[in-house]
Amino acid sequence: MFSIYKKELQSFFYTPFAYIITALFMLLFTYVLNTSIANMDSSMLQFSFTEIFYNVILFFIFLIPIMTMRTFSDERKFGTEVLLMTSPANVFKIVIAKFLGNVTVFAFMLVGSSLFPIVTAMNGAVVQSQLVCAYVGFFCWGIMCIALGMLISSFTENSIIAAILGEVAMLAVLFVDDFSRTAFVSQYPALQSVLDSFAAQTKFVYFAQGVIRLSDIIFFVSAVVLFLGWTIISIEKRRWNRG
């Protein structure tokens, strides 16, 4: 499994890809930060990093599919999937190794973003408890999206289609709570309750408020396990179809 994980890291860091995606994330973070400061009503420079992470989410989900779109689609496109499937590692280890590779790149992006609160702390004050909650929540949100993006990538050999479908799926996850508040769904309380239980955005709000709830951690971890489990099933099915 480690050899596959190492190969994934090499595909990211031995090419400009990881650095470009990190630069885009830093540009996005800078834009949201500057916008937050520019829109402050008070003359005092007071703003919340938890708010910034919350505002970054909408734009951030456009980066995740770009990162995950090649996970399995390129393996199929370039014919390397056969070599991967015939390796000593089973499908479970292959999926986990690729997942950890993507998570490592995501963690690299988050480390880069830590420059902003460090500079802020040097010139002012940062509420560390809220900052930690924001990072924990954003990390949970990110790994859930990574697992979802990998699942979409396992369905097609076209990385562009994988990226587009990934965007649609992540937007659906983001706005499921808004959909549950529509007049149509409100007519069916049972359906609304079910949709609310799957609403990830409302759970991230608690992190953005500086609160870590065990139920929210369990939700994101369960979503990751579910998406990775479906990815394993998808790969296994194709493996058996090949004979």
Sign of CA dihedral 214, 215, 220, 224: positive
Does 188 map to a domain? no
- 129 or 5: whose pLDDT is higher? 5
- Alpha-carbon distance of 200 to 137, in angstroms, equals 11
pLDDT score of 126: 73
| Tokens encoding 92 | 């479970």
- State the Cα–Cα distance between residues 74 and 162, nearest whole angstrom: 10
- Summarize pLDDT for 13-28 with one digit per residue, the tens: 888 888 999 898 888 8
Decide: helix, strand or coil at residue 135: helix
Residue 156 domain flag: yes
User: Does a structural domain hold residue 194?
Assistant: no
Does residue 107 sit within a domain? yes
Which comes out higher in pLDDT, residue 227 or 46? Answer: 227
Does 189 fall in a domain? no
**Domain span including residue 106:** 2-170+213-241
**Cα 64 from chain centre:** 6
Report the candidate in 202, 231, 160, 193 with the shortest Cα–Cα distance to residue 57. Answer: 202
Interval 177-213: pLDDT, tens? 778 778 777 777 887 787 877 788 888 888 877 788 8
Q: How many domains does the chain have?
A: 1
Is 77 a member of any domain? yes
Residue 218 to residues 144, 150, 203, 234, Cα–Cα distance (Å)? 12, 20, 11, 24
Q: What is the model's pTM?
A: 0.88
Q: Answer yes or no: are the C-beta atoms of 48 and 129 closer than 8 Å.
A: no
H helices of 15-87, where? 17-38, 49-60, 64-68, 70-77, 81-85
- Classify residue 86: in a domain, yes or no: yes
Asked if 71 and 149 touch (Cβ cutoff 8 Å), the reply is yes
Does residue 193 lie within any of the structural domains?
A: no
pLDDT of residue 44: 44
Q: Percent of the chain at pLDDT above 70?
A: 86
Closest alpha carbon to 108 in 12, 220, 228: 12
How far apart CA 144 and CA 227 sit, in angstroms, is: 8
